[in-house]
Structure formats: structure tokens, C-alpha cells
Amino acid sequence: MQKELDTGTDPYTTVGWLTMPYSYSSGYLASRFFTELRDNTKILGVKCHKCNTVIVPPRSVCAKCYSKLEELVELPNKGTLQTFTVVHYSSSAHPIETPFAYGSIQLDGANTGLTHILGEVDLNKIEIGMRVKAVFGEKRKGDILDIKYFKPLSTG
């Protein structure tokens, strides 16, 4: 029989934040993806030769057929908005002030969506199926926010 330890106090729980600095190696494919965004404002995907799927951002294994992926392909910076959500709540985790929209963009030539911020858009006029184009930041540092946002293509 196990005895319970009596400390004379009730359990205490608190909510807080713990900051833990760390380094992460993104691997060869993702490193090339981020380097091309930063240095050449180019978006790379990876092509599966077994099932012909083009995935962006690149990953090392095809989610469709589980083949090893190695061939990077350049994709256009234009695509179609597949879905979106408008963010109204504030958080230090957000890259920009609210309200703003995130969208899943299927770049031309890709089979998967790239989730990113939508900018230069009336939040009440966003439509699934609208054509968008990447806008790159002026000071790029090698992360996904080197694409500042995707904006609607003009219809005129």
C-alpha cells in the first residue's frame, strides 16, 4: 500500500511563458527554398517523379506516394486562392496587426497549397478562386516572411 505524501499545502498551478532559444536545421531542401526566397525572390517546390506531384514548400518525402524527393523546381509567384480565414484577435505570435487574412495559395504548377498572409486586399472582398501574386519584402533574411504577402492580381 502506497502512502500519499502530505505537504500541508494544496497544489498550485500558474500560467506563464517560457522562452527557450534554440537552433533548427531545416535540411537541404528547405535550406535551398529559404535561400532562393532571400537571395533571388524565387519560390521553389519539389517534384515527385513517381506520382508527378509538385509540393511547396519542399519536403523530402512525397505525402502522396512516400517516395524520396530530391528535384527542386522553380514555380511562378502567381497562384489561386484555395481557402482563407480572416484573423480578428491580437497575439504576439501574429506577424502583422489584426485584422488580416491568411490564405492557402496553390501556386501555378504546384499540387499543394502554401499558407500565407493576404495583403493589399479588402477583407470583405476576398474570394476563393481569386488569382494572387507574391509580394517580396525589401529586407529579406531567409524565412517564409521574405514573402511579405500575396496580393490580388488586378483584373484590368
The rounded distance, in Å, linking the Cα atoms of 63 and 102 is: 23
In 3-state terms, what secondary structure has residue 130?
coil
Domain positions in the chain are 27-152
Tens-level pLDDT at each residue, the chain (156 residues): 566 666 667 777 778 887 888 777 788 999 999 999 999 999 999 999 999 999 999 999 999 999 999 999 999 999 999 999 999 999 999 999 999 999 999 999 999 999 999 999 999 999 999 999 999 999 999 999 999 999 999 754
pTM of this prediction exceeds 0.95: no
**Distances, alpha carbon 128 to alpha carbons 45, 106, 152, in Å:** 22, 11, 11
Widest distance between CA atoms in the chain: 80
In 3-state terms, what secondary structure has residue 80?
strand
Residue 69, number of CB atoms within 10 A of its CB: 22
The rounded distance, in Å, linking the Cα atoms of 119 and 39 is: 22
Beta strands in 49-99 (DSSP E): 54-55, 71-75, 78-87
Cα pseudo-dihedral 34, 35, 40, 42, rounded to 10: -30
